Amino acid sequence: MGWKMQYKDKVWEKEGNLLEVIKKEGLEGRVFGAKINGVFSDLNVYPPDGSLVELLDWENEEGRNIYRHTSAHILAHAVKELFPEVKLGIGPAIEDGFYYDFYRKEPFSQEDLEKIENKMKEIINRNLPIERIEVTREEAIKILRDLKEDFKLELLEEIPEGEKISFYKQGSFMDLCRGPHLPSTSWVKAFKLLSVSGAYWRGDEKNPMFQRIYGTSFPSEEELKKYLEEREEAQRRDHRKLGRELEIFNTFEEAGPGLIFYPPKGAMLRLIIEEFERKEHLKRGYLPVITPHLMQAELWKRSGHWDNYRENMFFLQVEDKDYAVKPMNCPGHILIYNSKVRSYRDLPLRFFEMGTVYRYERSGVLYGLERARGFTQDDAHIFCTQEQLEDEIKGVLDFVFYMLDSFGLKEYMVTLSTKPEKYIGSDEIWEKATQALKNALESTGIEYRIAEGEGAFYGPKIDVGLKGLLGKMWQGPTIQVDFNLPERFDLTYDAPDGTKRRPVMIHRAILGSYERFIGILVEHYGGRFPLWLAPEQVRILPISERHNEYAEYVLRNLRNNDIRAEIDKDQAKLNYKLRKAIAEKVPYIFIVGDKEKEENKVSVRVHNKDLGMFDLAYVVTKLLEEIRSKKVFSGGFD
């Protein structure tokens, strides 16, 4: 009878061994796994008659994961051959590569990584078949005890009764694994080990510390080379590195992990962003509110955070009452809404706050500005009628894309998440809310994907992921429809017919957290901000001490026009001061000496480019034009 094989838009009628069919069709090395009737599978199988077999290649995330998970097994195989005493942890594929965790007392050195890489190449060249072996639980326990893999035994205990238990074997190496995998080790064509770091077993600080070796792999050397070049650029732009070098942010051990400090340049950058966004909120009819950082626990019990989010909150006790530091701003906005009777004439009501919140994150997952324990959100909550919902969502989307465009962020991925299995509210209102989100998205013409069943229990949502270096997605703007909190807090408004009705609540953030957004901007621009955003827009370099007075005159002129400028009065040579200003990525550099002073001019440089000498008044005019236009790059006066 045979089975059907689907690859891209083509469907074949086939029979026999899937791997042999793939080889005959010339797809060897292009296809890495399959779905048989929707279930992931290795290639070296005989699909049941009547099956639909979907082939997975590098364009499929699942195909990439199979390729890279096999690469992780080759890494573990190499480590076990070189260091037999090492205990195995886990080795998954990740977004741009793979890792494997190893328990070993001695740290892996750079020399060790080179040995492991060479051993991996040797294992690949052996062209070892990769075989799936299914066993009983008792057999699995015996295998792992014989291998002395204590941590794998712990993982085995978590496999539910009745679920198949499988190992994958390549040569002398065996590993407990669900799979699937490539047919043989030689299918991995290009790889590179990248780094080693510490990681607690199962992510718990109470457990032993493992060593995590990271790597990446690709179907060709060309793709690997391109990735490594991009990775080098990403490392140069890493916001954690640049943020400290350019004095954008600090963290201090004595203050506590995940708490962000902004020195003057970082504080200036944040104030520029906040002020721009505050004005845009007011233009769009939002009303500013300010809520406390600390509120009684009873409020968080009513909101549901006590039961569902408690492990991520900070608590303290005052006068025998429990308080919580706010992880979110919404309950405070709800109290303000409920502080007086609301009419349909008041709606839509849009409250916004630059609200600082605190959430407990394990120290192991903290990551610079991207993931912190304290951060400030450009948070707003819109209270509206069901009839107003679609227009309000359209307004938020218009705001989102206007702001992203203003900051020069053009690459993003929009996702609409729909009703999950567990939800509150009627099916009718869910349908209305989801359709309102869809209609609003389609009115923008922006492409979006639907994540079926991935909405929050309280309502559907739109998320905008901002694309960073190496294809990394940063969490950005979000729009969430909420039926839960209006119900919990008994929110009402007086309807035209005199009845009390429940408003719909929209949670939305335009930029997200300021911390994360600043991290995005640092990496996006490599620290070389457009003029309107630059904390320091102009650096004035007097050639010698006798030119300081004229430099001060230029400084006053610039500051009187709201241009952010500083003078470098260091007695070092001009070339040193020039290199320093370029390294600190100041957009414009003004050099002043005898000739500039005599003619009331300045010599202008943009990074490494000499633009020439200009009248000071002309330069000020051109700078103000560039600031107003929000041009992405400073490139001169044409």
Token pair 């009819």 is at which residue?
Answer: 285
Active site annotation includes 377: yes
Measured torsion, CA atoms of residues 421, 423, 427, 432, in degrees rounded to the nearest 10: -110
| Residue 363, CB-side half-sphere exposure with 13 Å CA sphere | 10
Active site annotation includes 480: no
Choosing from 35, 333, 371, 461, which is the catalytic residue? 461
Indicate the DSSP class of residue 503. P
| Bridge partner residues of 632 (DSSP) | none
What distance lies between CA 596 and its chain's CA centroid? 47
* Helical axes 110-125 vs 61-82, angle rounded to 10°: 110
Choosing from 359, 508, 564, 605, which is the catalytic residue? 359
Active site annotation includes 507: yes
Cβ within 8 Å of residue 570, ≥6 positions away: 576, 577
Measured torsion, CA atoms of residues 389, 391, 393, 398, in degrees rounded to the nearest 10: -170
Choosing from 507, 508, 516, 597, which is the catalytic residue? 507
Active site annotation includes 333: no
- How far is the C-alpha of 471 from the C-alpha of 473, rounded, in Å? 6
Q: Which of 506, 480, 477 is nearest to 414 (CA)?
A: 477
Helix, coil or strand: residue 255: coil
Q: Contact at 8 Å (CB) between 158 and 140?
A: no
Active site annotation includes 379: yes
| Bridge partner residues of 381 (DSSP) | 351, 507
- How far is the C-alpha of 372 from the C-alpha of 361, rounded, in Å? 7
Q: Contact at 8 Å (CB) between 382 and 348?
A: yes
Cα–Cα distances (Å) from 288 to 151, 178, 282, 294, 311, in that order, read 53, 53, 8, 19, 30
- How far is the C-alpha of 411 from the C-alpha of 405, rounded, in Å? 10
Q: Which of 380, 378, 386, 403 is nearest to 285 (CA)?
A: 380
Choosing from 35, 270, 381, 516, which is the catalytic residue? 381
Cβ within 8 Å of residue 605, ≥6 positions away: 578, 588, 589, 590, 591, 611
Q: Rounded to 5 degrees, what angle do the CA atoms 76, 80, 86 make?
A: 100
- Catalytic residue positions? 330, 359, 377, 379, 381, 461, 507
